[in-house]
Amino acid sequence: MAGYVGILVSDPWLQNQFTQVELRSLKTHFTSMRRESGKLTVGDLASRMSRLKVVGENLSEQERADFIADLYPNLNDEVDFEFFLKVYLKLHAHASARTGSPAKNSSAFLKAATTTLLHTISESEKASYVAHINNYLAQDGFLNKYLPINASSNDLFEIVKDGVLLCKLINVAVPGTIDERAINTKRLLNPWERNENHTLCLNSAKAIGCTVVNIGTQDFIEGRRHLVLGLISQIIKIQLLADLNLKKTPQLVELVDDSKDVEELMSLPPEKILLRWMNFQLKKSPYKKIVSNFSTDVKDAEAYAHLLNVLAPEHSNPSTLTVKDPFQRAKLVLEHADRMGCKRYLTAKDIVDGSPNLNLAFVAHIFQHRNGLSTQTKQISFLETLPDDAQVSREERVFRFWINSLGNSTYIDNVFEDLRNGWILLETLDKVSPGIVNWKIANRPPIKLPFKKVENCNQVVKIGKQLKFSLVNIAGNDIVQGNKKLILAYLWQLMRYNILQLLKNLRFHSHGKEITDVDILRWANTKVSDSGSQSRMDSFKDKSLSDGIFFLELLSAVQPRSVNWSLVTKGVTDEQKKMNATYIISIARKLGCSIFLLPEDITEVNQKMILTLTASIMYWFLKQPVEEKPSATSDSENGSQVETISNSTTDDSASESSVE
């Protein structure tokens, strides 16, 4: 698959069923399946397709085998890629018809972003997201000529075509993610500049935790509405749930009784914390039901009526609890929210329809505005007993977002908790080194028996040793027990192995030889030296790297027009160093580097993250077609070649390792 370019399928009907990114992802899967035995037959498909979402998750192997046999009785016939696609489409439709929904583990916020066959959009959600954008970006100097957007039109999909709005929205969700100096904001952008903005947007979205599998820059340029809304919904969700953790809102300890429960609370995803908070407040009311979702459990609006009465009794309306019609009750609930001063982006119809995205957004807005929690000294003291290792927290975040970017079957919220059954680690290993996992002895979740988890994790450790990881005194049970130090050590070696393999697979550069850290260091110094600069780094822990100048020189060497030197600081003070670091990260992502580090990793010279940054720049540069290698400062020479395909699991325009 490395270096594959050109038309993936010749059948026009098949071309219309998928985006190019989806086709490339399926091509990667197909190539991996065929590589295992040298060829792929009809009879092989039932077992091999277990790795594909929807098809693999919602149909058993026997069900897939029976379905395929009914359609294609000649099981020994060899399968080509177009035949594989036709079987996949039929199985996907069969699985979706059986379940009535997309992949069972996908978050509601991800459905619009990742579904292959159902390209519908919700007008209610579009109106909600437009209202959110109009509210939070109204004061932006560049966007004010486009805002407010008319929610009843399709103006949103035209405005996103230059990439600026999405970049700005990411910065609203997680301030400081994108250095706005790196965004192309001319009044009229040429195609390359638009592509750079979209590449910056996609790589930055991955870096804040969005799932962008099967989304590429071309999808935004073409204004594919379901993909645009899918990404916007994820960005807004991240913003709305940002305060649902103990660092931002330590008062959340009121939800638990002791320090052990605090640790459990810290490992929960934000949506689960929001539900726990809602139920905690509802216990103060006559409402006796437990709310377990933001859809069917809130459709009658009764839970909302009681929740708002607890949080803002001064604005309550007695009619809300006596009215019989759920729609009328929902209208009264929203009037109550208005009197509280809550911005709301949903209608009474959205509540009674059980829209999970919009109801979650509504509850998150209520939490942000008035959470009803009190700071109790006794409970806050629990936090002081918990380890607060900023480095561990940063590394956990990097590895979590990297793993999520690969498109595994389940989105993880905490590597120390969500990897303990071994399944996601096995999926990640299979993405990094296709075919290396023995799926016949793997145990698929849900796993109730502890020894089954240990079996999965034992295979994880065994494969690690096979890949020559340093795993002294590490056993499968250490992962099951959630040993933070050992899990981080394993994940670092896996991430490092991944990037080194990507470099090795560019065979026309490496000739199949193993790539080492020394090779990466030498390459970076050579590139900077050849550009005429005196800068160099002695190692990946060279403290002189903290000012960022070397990496700016390196980025300028691989793409001469990428760095605007008038925006670079001298890197003397801590503030200047941080400004350079944020600029470096945004430029690298704008070129097409899929990186997950933070500015602090550069200013503090985190050896691991410095290595991944350098290797990612090297990988981006080396995979450019030779005749198109950047060598001048023309507008046509930029990172648009990120669409060039390799067997990368951290590909630059989109993570192409999973198909919904």
* pLDDT tens-digit series, residues 414-425: 899 999 999 999
Under 8 Å between Cβ of 170 and 177:
yes
pLDDT surpassing 70 at residue 649: no
**Average pLDDT estimate for 157-172:** 94
Q: Looking at residues 449-464, what average pLDDT do you find?
A: 96
Label residue 642 by pLDDT band (50, 70, 90).
Answer: very low
CATH superfamily placement of domain 515-621: Calponin-like domain (1.10.418.10)
Name residue 311's amino acid. Answer: L
pLDDT mean over 423-442: 94
pLDDT of residue 107: 32
Give 212's DSSP letter: -
Residues 516-557: tens digit of each pLDDT:
999 999 999 999 999 999 999 999 999 999 999 999 999 999
Rounded mean pLDDT, 428-449: 93
Is-contact 164 180, C-beta < 8 A?
A: no
CA gap 31, 64 in Å, rounded: 20
- Token readout for 600 is 């602090």
Tokens for 635? Answer: 């507008």
Please determine, for residue 408, whether its predicted confidence score (pLDDT) is greater than 80. Answer: yes
Identify the helix (H) or strand (E) that includes residue 405.
Answer: helix 390-405
Q: CA 295, CA 356: separation in Å to the nearest integer?
A: 5
Phi, psi of 522 (to 5 degrees): -65, -40
What interhelical angle do 356-369 and 302-311 show, nearest 10?
10
Phi first, then psi, for residue 126 (nearest 5°) are: -60, -45
Domain boundaries, the chain: 10-96, 121-239, 248-367, 388-504, 515-621
Quick: pLDDT tens for 206-261: 999 998 877 888 888 887 888 899 999 999 999 999 988 888 888 888 888 766 67
Task: Please write the tens of the pLDDT for every residue from 187-202.
Answer: 888 989 999 999 999 9
More confident residue, 566 or 259: 566
Q: pLDDT above 90 covers what percent of the chain?
A: 55
Mean pLDDT of 78-102: 73
pLDDT band at 113 (very low <50, low <70, confident <90, very high): very low
Mean pLDDT within 467-490? 94
H-helix or E-strand containing 229?
Answer: helix 225-240
C-alpha distances in angstroms, 615 versus 135, 501, 521? 40, 11, 9
Confidence at residue 47, expressed as pLDDT on a 0 to 100 scale: 83
pLDDT of the residue at 427: 95
**pLDDT for the residue numbered 212:** 87
Q: What's the whole-number mean pLDDT along residues 320-346?
A: 90
Handedness of CA 83, 85, 90, 94 (dihedral sign): positive
- Mean pLDDT along residues 375-402: 70
Q: In the 8-state DSSP scheme, what is residue 636?
A: T
pLDDT(493) > 80: yes
Relative orientation angle of helices 423-432 and 450-466, to the nearest 10 degrees: 20
In this predicted structure, the answer to whether residue 652 has a pLDDT above a threshold of 50 is: no
pLDDT for 10 equals: 67
Check the CA dihedral 386-389-394-400 and report its sign. Answer: negative
Q: How confident is the model at residue 109 (pLDDT cuts 50, 70, 90)?
A: very low
**Side chain identity at residue 577, one-letter code:** K
**Class of 388-504 in CATH:** mainly alpha
Higher pLDDT, 372 or 392: 372
CA–CA dist 177, 207 (Å, integer): 8
Query: Which segment, 82-91, 514-523, 624-633, is predicted with the most confidence on average?
Result: 514-523
The Cα-based distances of 120 to 123, 228, 487 in angstroms read: 9, 12, 40
Q: Which residues pair with 41 in a beta bridge?
A: 78
Name 219's Cβ contacts closer than 8 Å, sequence gap at least 6. 19, 21, 227, 228
Assigned CATH topology for domain 10-96: Recoverin; domain 1 (1.10.238)
**How does residue 432 score in pLDDT terms, banded at 50, 70 and 90?**
very high
DSSP-derived 3-state class of residue 144: helix
Q: How confident is the model at residue 511 (pLDDT cuts 50, 70, 90)?
A: low
Give the global pTM.
0.76
Q: CA-based angle 642:644:647, to the nearest 5?
A: 105
Q: Which backbone phi and psi does 388 adopt, to 5 degrees?
A: -120, 75
From 393, 400, 402, select the one nearest 594 (Cα to Cα): 402
| Residue 465 near residue 473 (C-beta atoms within 8 A) | no
The CA-to-CA distance between both ends of the chain, in Å, stands at: 20
CATH number of 121-239: 1.10.418.10
- The CATH superfamily of 248-367 is Calponin-like domain (1.10.418.10)
pLDDT, position 344? 72
Residue found under tokens 């200013």: 603
- At position 390, the amino acid (one-letter code) is A
Q: Return d(Cα 614, Cα 407) in angstroms, integer.
A: 24
Q: Which residues contact 622 (CB under 8 A, 6 or more apart)?
A: 503, 506, 509
Please check whether the two domains, 121-239 and 515-621, share a CATH topology. yes
At what angle are helices 225-240 and 123-136 packed, to 10 degrees? 50
Q: Whole-angstrom Cα distance, residue 595 to residue 616?
A: 7
How many whole angstroms separate alpha carbon 403 and alpha carbon 424?
9
Alpha-carbon span 5 to 578, nearest angstrom = 39
| 90-99, Cβ contacts within 8 angstroms, sequence gap of 24 or more | 91/49, 91/55, 91/59, 91/64, 91/67, 92/54, 92/55, 92/116, 92/117, 93/117, 94/59, 94/67, 95/54, 95/55, 95/57, 95/58, 95/59, 96/54, 96/58, 98/58, 98/59, 99/58
Is residue 599 over pLDDT 90?
yes
User: What residues does 78 pair with on adjacent strands?
Assistant: 41
Dump pLDDT digits (tens) for 152-164. 898 999 999 999 9
Angle separating helix axes 423-432 and 484-504, nearest 10 degrees: 20
Q: What is the pLDDT of residue 55?
A: 74
Looking at the predicted structure, is the pLDDT value of residue 3 above 60? Answer: no
Count of CB atoms situated within 10 Å of the CB of 98: 11
* Model pLDDT, residue 202: 95
Instruction: With H, G, I as helix, E, B as strand and everything else as coil, classify residue 517.
Output: helix
DSSP 33-101: HHHHHSS-BGGGHHHHGGGSTTHHHHS-HHHHHHHHHHH---TTSB--HHHHHHHHHHHHHHHHHHHSS
Q: Over the chain, what is the mean pLDDT?
A: 83
Residue 150 clears pLDDT 50, i.e. is over it: yes
More confident residue, 222 or 435: 435
